[in-house]
Amino acid sequence: MFEVQLKAIEMEKRNSFLDYLLLADESEEIVREYINDGEMFAMLFNGQIIGVAQFIFLQDGIVELKNIAIIEDYRGKGIGKLVIKEAFGLYKMKGLNKMLVGTANSSIANLAFYQKLGFRMDEIKKDFFKKYPTPIYENGIRALDMVMLERDL
């Protein structure tokens, strides 16, 4: 089991984490729209940055997991699950009551991952990914719609 430390990233340093964010969101233009919103954390393992997670705050006590990205060598080891579970506790302590996350209709592994963490499908934003400059394909499926999932904290 990995012991991962989360470290808050100061606003003025966020742009230096752009390459990490682009591991999970392929459009730099879209990432730049939210990079300065909410809270961003670096994931550290043995002092090395292995990923980032960004959360933004919405109305009515809702936090959205906007981006979570882990470098390839550390994926599939339970780190993402650990970070999200830690965020559940953190934001519940801060008085928030719900977490949202969105993923592409084509991201079958992501859909399974979030449901295993207790998220439930809530909304579909049709044609969300049509605004991306280059079409995205995963699992032989074009990413067109954003599937929004939610979980009570």
Over 80: is that where the pLDDT of 104 sits? Answer: yes
* Backbone φ, ψ for residue 23 (5° rounding): -65, -30
pLDDT digits 0-9 by tens, 120-140: 999 999 999 998 888 999 999
Residue 2: per-residue pLDDT: 64
76: left (phi over 0), alpha (psi -120 to 50) or beta: left
pLDDT digits 0-9 by tens, 43-70: 999 889 999 999 999 999 999 999 999 9
pTM: 0.91
